[in-house]
Structure 1
Amino acid sequence: MFKPYNIEEGRFLVKLARAAVEEYLRSGKIIQAPSDTPPKLLKDMYGVFTTIEIFTGRDRRGELRGCIGFPQAVYNTVNGVIRSAIAAAVEDPRFEPMSIEELNKVTFEVSVLSPLELLEPGNPRIYPEKIVVGRHGIVIQKGYYSGLLLPQVPVEYCWDSMTFLNEGCMKAFLPPDCWLDEDTSVLIYEAQIFKEVEPNGEVVERDLMEELRRCRNADKSKG
């Protein structure tokens, strides 16, 4: 299981994401790594994503407000979080740029990604068996097209691995069964995820396997 950071380091990253967005919205400036940055966060190189959601309650999934990041390491962890947070706030093409007034109405989530791993090509029908919902995220690549889904996405929608692959293809603007094509690459990775439980609130580490268990139990009770 990919867990490079403890909760204190995760809390630092989430608070840093919020601070970076607040400063950028106020002044247009990109902050530097604070003087109290844990040394590990300056040394490590991981892909990172920042997700911003409109807060709808502690026990409810928020409405997406922005999500952008780097699938592979471009910066050290701390600078990757700063830049991905700002990009999620003002550069996500699906949304208008955030305003400073929105900051107290949204929560921040930081996902730290493990290195991407290419699933063995040649036998795509085994891919659903290789992908563990609640553990893996996916990247679908075909020609100039590419789509990434974070590990929390299939958990939040209670998908199985085949639905996850289909949705990954559609995220790449490809047919849902594109993962069966020989010229499609499917990559997997893991993520450690820290998030605010409410705006400016406590930071926790998400347990996706537990969330998936609750989701599936809820589906069974409905049936």
Structure 2
Amino acid sequence: MISEDNGQYLVEIAKEAISTYLETNLRIPVPEDCPDELKEELGVFVTLNKKRRLRGCIGYPEPVKSLIESTIDVAISAAFEDPRFPALKTEEYGDLEFEVTVLTQPELIEVAHPKQYFDEIEIGRDGLIIQKGYARGLLLPQVAPENGFNVETFLEHTCMKAGISADSWMDESCDVYKFQGQIFK
């Protein structure tokens, strides 16, 4: 997907976007020295941790604009608009750990029987999106190993993230997608 150097560049951009927004309430522009590789349209998430605990995580699961623009957007959103947390305060900035996850295009997993998901999903490699009607939940690839999930538990937690019952992944009206992510810290 993208080079390690460009991944680290995105981490620095996420930090700068949040720092600038804290100070000025303004969005930073795309830097003039932005590598061409980061102008490609890809999905991306920015995760903020504070003392090893989640402090914010927002992203675009699918490509909607250039990777650099998306990273700036979701960094600011993770810090100030994640509904699970209050807006970031200036005094918290120094305690943050920054993580940028660049995503592949989500791929619908087609199975004849729900138990086949166990063969199609690899813990540590795949992230999941589960959609049933208007309900949609996403968990990044790193969530399963960080929490000791097996495939079934990962499916259940993705359903719960969508606000649907944990066993909805077994329902034929439920679509399960997988994607991979490159993680930069």
Asked if TM exceeds 0.5, the reply is: yes
Distance in 1 between residues matched to 2:148 and 2:107, nearest whole Å:
23
Distance in 2 between residues matched to 1:77 and 1:66, nearest whole Å:
19
Residue 42 of structure 2 aligns to which amino acid in structure 1?
Y
Distance in 2 between residues matched to 1:160 and 1:12, nearest whole Å:
33
Trace 1:118-197 onto structure 2 (pairs within 5 A).
118-195=108-185
Q: CA deviation at 1:188?
A: 0.3
Query: 10, 13, 36: which is aligned to 2:10?
Result: 13
Distance in 2 between residues matched to 1:103 and 1:135, nearest whole Å:
30
Runs of at least 4 residues off by over 4 Å: none
Q: CA deviation at 1:121?
A: 4.6
Match of 1:26 in 2: 23
Aligned residue for 2:128, secondary structure, equals strand
Match of 1:113 in 2: 103
Which residues of structure 1 form unaligned runs of 5+?
A: 56-61, 196-223
Residue 31 of structure 1 aligns to which amino acid in structure 2?
I
Distance in 2 between residues matched to 1:116 and 1:87, nearest whole Å:
22
Q: CA deviation at 1:122?
A: 3.9
Contact 2:111 2:117 (8 Å CA) reproduced: no
Matched-pair identity in %: 43
Match of 2:42 in 1: 46
Summarize deviations over 1:121-164 as a string: whole Å, max 9, x none: 54222012100001000001001111000000001011111110
Structure 1 length-normalised TM: 0.81
Aligned residue for 1:23, secondary structure, equals helix
Which residues of structure 2 form unaligned runs of 5+?
A: none
CA RMSD of aligned residues (A): 0.9
Trace 1:44-83 onto structure 2 (pairs within 5 A).
44-55=40-51, 62-83=52-73
Match of 1:202 in 2: none
Query: 84, 92, 99: which is aligned to 2:74?
Result: 84
